[in-house]
Amino acid sequence: MIVLTRADDRLIHGLVAVAWTSHLAPETILVANDAAAADEFKKNSLKLAKPAGVKLFVKSVEKAAAALNNPVNDNKKIFLVTQTVEDAKRVYDLLDDAHKFTRLNIGTAGVNKKPGETYVAIIPQVYTTAEELEAARALNAAGVTVFGQANPTLESADFAAIERAFK
């Protein structure tokens, strides 16, 4: 069972490893990212960043969805982390109806801004692009609760507030 899906361009870092993991108490963190899954150095770095007592798997988007669709994982508390909202939507689209996630947290995505991309501040520490807004809009229309929040103790923005930031 996916307890939360988070789009965070840094994947696992202090906020994820400490604040969100403490808040959610997952058994497993599943990183769904094609580039990280193909990079041994990145995988090892993510393993060093994960909290003790929590399992970590780094898989491509397709392999992450396959793992989430496997009934053996139905009773496990899984924290799904993607680098972008688009990747979260890709995972969602590959999930069986029984395994689809219901909440997407747009985290500190956009903190590491890519040259040439336009980012809009949603709330402090949370930025997103028009492309990510489109993916979030599709997930919201599918019934996913989409919200922006850097960590569980700070303010959050619901999907309506995210859309308003683009007007």
Active site residues: 13
Using CA atoms, how far apart are residues 60 and 121, in angstroms rounded to an integer?
Answer: 28
CA distances from 95 to 1, 50, 67, 91 (A): 12, 25, 10, 6
Q: How far apart are CA 26 and CA 1, in angstroms?
A: 10
